[in-house]
Amino acid sequence: MPGFDVEDIEFPAADGQPLLGRLYRPRRNGVVPLLVDVHGGAWVRGNRLNNASMHETLAEEGIAVFALDFRMPPQVDFPGSIADVNAGLRWAQRHAGELGSRPEWTGGLGTSSGGHLLMLNALCPHDARYAAAPEDGTPLVHYAVACWPILDPLARYRMAQARQLAQLVEAHQAFWPDEAAMERDNPHRLVERGEARYLPPVLLIQGTADANVDHLGADAFGEQYRAAGGAIEVLKYDDEVHMFMTVEPASPASLHAMDRIRHFVRSQTRPV
């Protein structure tokens, strides 16, 4: 019998429409850390169950996870997905106590394109284009775990074109209105331009054999983040592919990465 409970809970999308989040809540006394998960899928596929193996492992280790559903094209046009994630992050922090945690212990977990959506909202949570609530001086996540994230969508688009990765090119074109948006709503460039409102501590996990993401981009983002004053640890795993932690959750690399996530979350949520 698992040491956690699973429950689907409704939360309001950016326009008030109900969406589902799946809560993995450890059966432990007292408050626990809370990670809000933003799934990948090239911005146009997937749902709250994408990273279930990671969620279950984290919950067994005493970390709650609230995995968001959000609308994607063709249900919503850009920046609707970003706004839905913003609404989900905001709701989870506001209801952290009901989810078994506390607001200041709320962090984010994003994979692939979900890493982009998470980091965009982590850096600029009150951008009026996708934040319904006014500026209140509060970050949406107090720390972030980004796994094989798309941190420079314009560079990834051009890489996909150069390598003739038709499925990725089509996904970009389905989500993004144009290349100008890829450059504007771009976590790496936001940090580089000094436009990031917050720089929460980040753990970035990336495989070097990832055909969907240039692993050198993780190093470049790490350097830029540190130069801007942020704290970031970049973990590179040799010969590991895109989504390696969900493709082979029992592999040595996956087990090591999950352990590092657990330690990182614990380091950010120690009682004062």
pLDDT at 137: 73
pLDDT at 200: 98
pLDDT at 272: 53
Phi-psi region of 43 (alpha: psi -120 to 50; beta: other; left: phi over 0): left
Question: In the numeric block, which tokens belong to residue 178?
Answer: 């144009």
pLDDT at 29: 82
pLDDT at 138: 82
Return averaged pLDDT per consecutive 10 residues of the chain, 272 residues in all: 92 95 93 97 97 97 97 96 96 96 96 98 92 74 98 97 96 98 97 97 98 96 98 98 97 98 95 62
What backbone phi and psi angles, to 5 degrees, belong to 9?
-130, 135
Burial class (CB in 10 A: 0-12, 13-18, 19+), 262: middle
